[in-house]
Structure 1
Amino acid sequence: MTRGIALVRRPGDRLAEGLVTYIERSDVDLARARRQHEAYRAALAEAGWQIREVSPADHCPDSVFVEDTVAVCEGLAVITRPGAPQRRPELPGAEKAARDAGLEVVRIEAPGTLDGGDVLQVGTTVYVGRGGRTNGEGLAQLRAHLATRGRTVIPVPLRGVLHLKSAVTALPDGTLLALPELLDATALGHPVRPVDEEAGCHVVPLGGDLVLLAASAPRSAALVAGLGFTPVVVDISEYEKLEGCITCLSVLIPG
């Protein structure tokens, strides 16, 4: 079964220079990071996703975190404008990959900023993190673009975390897994189940009952299994040193 296309971007030689904001910098093992990325891609492929690589951007240390460059909704690719200016050279490759995948393409324009890691889609609701790298103008432009797909965009204030998806993501049934101390949960209109592991609030529904999680969240994987889903666990520890999470390393385009 082919579920769709998974856009990924290989880590470049400068990965260890990636941005960190809320955590202390620690050494990144590039060889191990590359092995972990291969295992991540393999997990997506085994779950039925066709792997398509975005052209390398080795001069951009954070380019492996491809999620931040494009948000996809029902055949529409919104090319973002990252809040960190040094990440904007990542965009042309992401836009080309979106066009090659047959998506309609629109862009966030200056002075708007939007990171894809701030965009959480749950049914016809799209939650957007505010307080990190996404500003009000970027949010307004996203709202206008996604209105063409019948989506409602709701801002969610963040506290001490880089992106919304660093604080909350959704299971296939719409249940939200969250670290409540990192966001204003009153803005969320879906059921929220708190977790007690930071990586536990980072999940990627892969289709059917499959849910991708990081190996650093074993209790949360057990929770997901207890809710009737099948955890798919991968080790992304080298990316977690750069505030990356399981969602950051791919963009899924359903078939």
Structure 2
Amino acid sequence: MSGIALVRKPGPRISEGIVTHLQREPVDAGRAAAQHDAYVAALAAAGWRPVYVPSADDLPDAPFVEDTLVVSGRLAVLTRPGAVERRPEVDSVAQAVRDLGMKAVRIARPGTLDGGDVLQSGPTVYVGRSARTNAQGITQLAALLPERTVVPVELSGVLHLKSAVTALPDGTLIGDPRHVDLPGLLVPEEEAGAHVVPLGGDRVLLAASAPRTAAALEKRGLAVTTVDISEYEKLEGCVTCLSVLVAD
């Protein structure tokens, strides 16, 4: 599998990004920029062509582009983020997907939806009911994806669904049962091990902060690439947050 990786460079105000469940730590903007470059390079090495959404230096959370968009085939669902200050991020993403020739639709008020709450695995779309995603947003997403099975998921003590659980290439869910109750959950050894980006085939991307989980996934036969995203982890970010993959 290959395609396009939508990404957005971090701006100088990234240290001002929203923190909800963690104690705020200083974020080094220069190091964050270098880590983002390495992250994008890892996607490119796996066959994903980077497409940069226009910079938004006045919006600290803008590099977490996943929250603005849900892609199903050639349909781009533009979200309505639950944090009001993040809603201006969406318009530039909307233009980017239109430039790619995709059909764009929007979540409308009073619905709220963050892309980080949406986990797609085969025909199933799990959607976390969180502080950022409400019932109306989930209902609207289900109506926009009639060919998919949308499953609401309750969360506990975590920002987004994909902060707690993601899916391996074979559909196995990997995550932290302290935050989400889903059957058949593979439990990683590190919290960051719950954050997996399938890159196509047996390839996956994982944060460098989960070395034991990376080793365990390699024992399962997966080809694991790791990247250091420690500056983003201080802002509750993970490897899924920093891109939206659009398959050819």
TM-score, structure 1 normalization = 0.96
1:131 and 2:124 aligned: no
Give the structure 2 partner of residue 170 of structure 1.
167
Give the structure 2 partner of residue 44 of structure 1.
43
Give the structure 1 partner of residue 209 of structure 2.
216
Distance across 2 between alignment mates of 1:199 and 1:97: 29
Give the structure 1 partner of residue 223 of structure 2.
230
Letter in 1 for 2:169: P
Say if 2:70 and 2:79, in contact at 8 Å, map to a contact too: yes
Match of 1:157 among 154, 158, 167: 154
Aligned-pair CA distance for 1:102? 1.6
Aligned-pair CA distance for 1:101? 1.4
Letter in 2 for 1:231: V
Identity of matched residues, %: 61
CA deviation map 1:137-162 (0-9, x unaligned):
00000000011xx1010000000000
Aligned residues: 248
Give the structure 2 partner of residue 12 of structure 1.
11
Aligned-pair CA distance for 1:196? 2.5
CA deviation map 1:75-122 (0-9, x unaligned):
100000000000000001110111111211110000100000000000
Name stretches of at least 5 consecutive residues in structure 2 with no aligned partner: none
Give the structure 1 partner of residue 23 of structure 2.
24
Q: Give 3-state SS (helix, strand or coil) of 1:169's partner.
A: strand
Distance across 2 between alignment mates of 1:181 and 1:90: 31
TM-score, structure 2 normalization = 0.98
CA deviation map 1:141-192 (0-9, x unaligned):
0000011xx101000000000000000000000011110001122xx5xx32
Letter in 2 for 1:64: P
Distance across 1 between alignment mates of 2:181 and 2:132: 17
Letter in 2 for 1:234: V
Runs of 4+ off more than 3 Å: none
Distance across 2 between alignment mates of 1:162 and 1:76: 25
Name stretches of at least 5 consecutive residues in structure 1 with no aligned partner: none
CA deviation map 1:184-210 (0-9, x unaligned):
22xx5xx32111211000000001111
Q: Give 3-state SS (helix, strand or coil) of 1:211's partner.
A: strand
Letter in 1 for 2:102: L
Letter in 2 for 1:157: E
